Chain A
Amino acid sequence: MIAPHGGRLIERIAGKKEKEDLLSLRGEYPEIEISRELAFEVENIAVGLFSPLEGFLGKEDFHSVLKRGRLASDIPWTIPIVLDVDKEKAQEIGEGLFLLYEGKPIAWMEVQEKFTYDKDEMAYSVYGTLSEEHPGVVKVKSMKDILVGGKITLLNHVSSPFPKYKLTPKETRVLFETKGWRRVVGFQTRNVPHLGHEYIQKTALTFVDGLFINPVIGKKKKGDFKDEVIIKAYEALFKYYYLPETATMAILQMEMRYAGPREAIHHAIIRKNYGCTHFIVGRDHAGVGNFYSPYAAQEIFDDYPDLGIIPLFFRSFFYCKKCGGVVNEKVCPHEEEHRISFSGTKIRALLMEGKIPPAELMRPEVAKVITEFNNPFV
């Protein structure tokens, strides 16, 4: 089994006794209600998906992540995982704090430090822009003024609309081992699969033992496909076009940040923690609008020779009428006029009208599932 990021799989889940002990302290420490997105972060830390993080970043790590895309310990880390609170609340916070989600305590936090930060610096470092058109920038600007760093201990898991697809990194590691997969390629997605995705996945799978499809479930932007649509569409693809011996799927409950290159590294680290040895990075990975050049999310991997997971870079695939199949620039010598591109916008427009896209673009079984939804979009 491949080592987790930083060498050790973090597990910060309270056992029965510890949970009782911690909960008996309620009333003595301040409590804050956190968003669904933050609750996901807490759980992801606790189960080890964000190994080596054991909690929300402290000041030194926070600045190191912004400035150099690494923790203070030099371990690659590109996305600041932080807890923001307002000034009044920050004054109440001492050594410890309960984090509540939907009124229920989900974690105990040992507060290490509280610090102020520069939102512009944070937004620019992570997203490479200060444009208000970027959803990540808008999010950072709306954050509260104080960050609180410290280790967390999970008291209750966050409920999921797809419990059967929710696996911890320990579980996926045992799963891969049981299936006899030594080399596993991870595929990040926030989309329904068209043939271009399928070809990328299957090309990668040809060289390894197993394929791990890992859709991101959580807050997305308007116009993205709804979570249940993505899951159902992949279920159809699995049923008709994949072998259970070589492919599997689990969800990742996490907010998309659209941070392009930096998020690609973050995504790779998470898949490494799941036990993947390889990770697929396509065109404009985790991008939004035209903020990142199409292959910036591939180029950033040059800065991380010590990442410990092998990125597999793909150019876009398209359907070529002359080749008679799905191909890419590297293998198809034909003119533009013979090619049909997998334009997400085009497929989306057809689906929005309830039409089935041509079979060269999307598997009919997948398209059927999507069109069965009244409104498949967020």
Chain B
Amino acid sequence: MRQREVKIPEGLYKLIEEHLEELGAKSVEEFVVNAARVALQETTNRKLEIDEKEKEEIKRRLRELGYID
């Protein structure tokens, strides 16, 4: 796996290092990577929209199968 370097302020680094246990991480790197992952997951967590016409077709099938009334 290729890796890139990112710089962070020393004070912030030290603060993270001091609180590693409470942050649930084994290293500053692990914490930063996971924090970025969570933020990205939330940002890209767009709702899925299905257009109305397709939705009606799906509902018809679900009704036929007895899933909905």
B53 surroundings in chain A (CB, below 8 A): none
Tell me whether B48 and A173 are in contact (CB under 8 A).
Answer: yes
Contact with A along B18-33 (1 / 0, CB 8 A): 0000001000000000
Provided the pairs A1-B47, A170-B50 are in contact, do residues A305 and B38 lie with their beta carbons within 8 angstroms? yes
The answer to whether B38 touches A68, judged by C-beta atoms less than 8 angstroms apart, is: no
The answer to whether A7 and B50 touch across the interface, beta carbons within 8 angstroms, is no
- Please, how many angstroms separate the alpha-carbon atoms of A1 and B45 in the complex? 10
Main SS of the interface on chain B? loop
Stretch in A82-90, A143-151, A174-182, A196-204 touching the partner: A174-182
Task: State the Cβ distance, B57 to closest chain A Cβ, in Å.
Answer: 9
Q: How far is it, in angstroms, between the C-alpha of A1 and the C-alpha of B51 when the chains are bound?
A: 13
Q: How far is the CB of B40 from chain A (nearest CB, A)?
A: 7
* Complex contacts, B45 vs chain A, CB 8 Å: 2-3, 7, 308
Q: Is the CB of A175 within 8 A of B1?
A: no
Q: Is the CB of B34 within 8 A of A305?
A: yes
A: interface residue count bin: 20 to 34
Residue B7 is within 8 A (CB to CB) of chain A in the complex: no
Closest chain B residue to A168, Cβ basis: B58
A335 close to chain B: CB less than 8 A: no
CB atoms of A3 and B34 under 8 A apart:
no
A228 close to B (CB within 8 Å): no
Partner of A306, one of B34, B55, B66: B34
Bound form: Cα–Cα A177–B41 in Å: 22
> Quick one: CB contact mask for B51-69 with A, threshold 8 Å, 1 for yes?
0001100110110011110
Q: Which residues of A contact B44 (CB under 8 A)?
A: 3, 6-7
Query: Does A7 contact B46, Cβ atoms closer than 8 Å?
Result: yes
Residues of B within 8 A of A246 (CB): none
A179: which B residues are within 8 A, CB to CB?
68
Whether A186 is near chain B, meaning CB under 8 Å from some CB there, is: no
A363 CB, nearest partner CB in chain B, Å? 22
A218-244 residues with Cβ-Cβ distance < 8 A to B are: none
Q: How far is the CB of B66 from chain A (nearest CB, A)?
A: 7
Residues of B contacting A112 in the complex (Cβ-Cβ under 8 angstroms): none
Q: Return the contact of A3 from the options B1, B37, B46, B50 (Cβ within 8 A).
A: B46
- Closest chain-B Cβ to A260's Cβ sits at a distance in Å of 22
> 0/1 per residue, A287-310, Cβ < 8 Å to B?
000000000000000100111100
Complex contact B66–A164 (CB within 8 A): yes
CB neighbours (8 Å) of A164 from chain B are: 65-66
Nearest B residue to A169, CB-CB: B48
Q: Is A248 an interface residue (CB 8 A)?
A: yes
Min Cβ gap B69→A in Å is 9
Please list 12 pairs of residues, one from A and one from B, whose beta carbons are closer than 8 Å in the complex, sorted by A's number.
A1-B49, A3-B48, A6-B44, A7-B46, A171-B58, A174-B62, A175-B68, A178-B59, A178-B62, A179-B68, A306-B37, A307-B41
Residues of B within 8 A of A (CB): 1, 24, 34, 37-38, 40-41, 44-50, 54-55, 58-59, 61-62, 65-68
The 10 A-B pairs at the shortest CB distance, nearest first, are namely A306-B37, A306-B41, A7-B44, A174-B58, A3-B45, A1-B48, A305-B34, A164-B65, A305-B38, A306-B38
Task: For the A-B complex with A302-B24, A306-B40 known, give 9 more contacts whose Cβ atoms are closer than 8 Å.
Answer: A1-B49, A6-B44, A68-B1, A74-B37, A170-B58, A178-B62, A178-B68, A179-B68, A306-B37
Report A's interface with B, CB cutoff 8 A.
1-4, 6-7, 9, 64, 67-68, 72, 74, 164, 167, 170-171, 173-175, 178-179, 248, 302, 305-308
